[in-house]
Amino acid sequence: MPIHLKPGREKSLFRRHPWIFSGAIQRVDEEPASGGTVDLLSSKGDFLARAAYSPQSQIRARVWTFDDEPVDVDFLRRKIKSAIHARETWNLKRDTDAFRLIYAESDGLPGLIVDRYDDVLVLQSLTTGSEFWKETIADILLEETGLSTIYERSDADVRELEGLQPITGLLRGSILHSPLTIHEHGLKFTVNLAEGHKTGFYLDQRMNRLRVRELAKDRDVLDCFCYTGGFTVNALAGGAKSVLSVDSSADALELVSGNVASNGLPAERHARLEGDIFQLLRKFRDEGRAFDMVILDPPKFAPTAAQAEKAARGYKDINLLAFKLLRAGGILVTFSCSGGVDAGLFQRIVAASALDAGVDAQIVEHLAQASDHPVALNFPEGAYLKGLVCVKR
């Protein structure tokens, strides 16, 4: 079914950007099925792309292909095989048995996230297009990976914008061991597929966790928003003098202690604290506490650019307090995973935080998501994770 764009609104497609917003559409011939395939035509009737239709989303169409080719089982198989082959080329299994297999638009499969945790695949369907083809995609995934189990975690908030209800549970096969244990750079972690954040673990931080391990030796470390302890465990494995893990979830902190113990790390060097991070950072400041390394890995403050101003205040608050808690020569490892806050804005926020804290600091490294979360050059929105390593002078 064709969708006709307004004059001049095809420019983004010429740049091969995969999204068409509702305001760009002149008319829709008939009403396509939710998630069904549509042809995007210029105002003159020229073919531009083939896309999935989302009648309730502001992003009304997401491009499958810019070529005049059918979107069918063979098409999906080619895309999935290409994504799997790329991960094999990067030799991820050398370092871990848990990694992202398919990263949505960046792999040419809009709205589809697939993570592999050892012998279990975890699938997130975030859009009507991926939902429309979900059963077919599940069959292809098992055929191409040789695995038998897919757990679905289609419970992200963005599904509501697509008019979709949250869905979680087994999609294929069965899980024999729950929770799962995964391995990363010689360490092991417990993963709760059913209730954990995202698909169970923050796979995108894999290389950044290793970097923290390399920097943590002989330091007193404060790990904020620690979740299940990826940075905590790596800091201890790197020879940190002490690590204080802070999170608002008691259940997450239990998993932190379990991960510390299962890796044979010294429990006497580890402490945990449950509470609101903003309040605890102020409390530490008022008590005159100090650390050699502070890690800030907060949840998403600004999913969209419209929320960036409010998010900026939150990021500035925690980074300002972190700078105040650092000893001279101390390291701040700070992140934003908010899509509405780009790298330039995040750097300006951290700079303003240092200024207001009355400290001099240097950026010594820029951090980003791991290579199994690639960023397509025609889709810069895929670069969501921004990280800075700063040294207080």
Active site residues: 337
Gap between the Cα atoms of 158 and 127, Å rounded: 8
Q: Could you say which DSSP state residue 92 is in?
A: G
Q: Are 272 and 246 a contacting pair, CB within 8 Å?
A: yes
Q: Are 29 and 391 a contacting pair, CB within 8 Å?
A: no
Whether the CA torsion 69, 72, 74, 77 is positive or negative: it is positive
Q: What are phi and psi of 102, to 5 degrees?
A: -140, 130
Whether the CA torsion 160, 162, 165, 167 is positive or negative: it is negative
Who's near 355: CB < 8 A, 6+ residues apart?
Answer: none
Who's near 271: CB < 8 A, 6+ residues apart?
Answer: 242, 243, 244, 245
Pick from 345, 333, 325: which is nearest to 388 by CA? Answer: 333
Who's near 105: CB < 8 A, 6+ residues apart?
Answer: 18, 62, 111, 376, 379, 381, 382
Instruction: Quote the distance between the C-alpha of residue 110 and its chain's center.
Output: 15
Pick from 53, 194, 21: which is nearest to 127 by CA? Answer: 53
Strand bridging mode 180-184 / 361-368:
unpaired
Computed over its alpha carbons, how large is the radius of gyration of the chain? 22
Alpha helices per DSSP H over the chain:
11-14, 73-89, 128-132, 134-145, 158-161, 206-215, 230-237, 250-262, 277-287, 308-325, 343-357
**Three-class secondary structure of residue 234 per DSSP:** helix
Q: What amino acid occupies position 37?
A: T
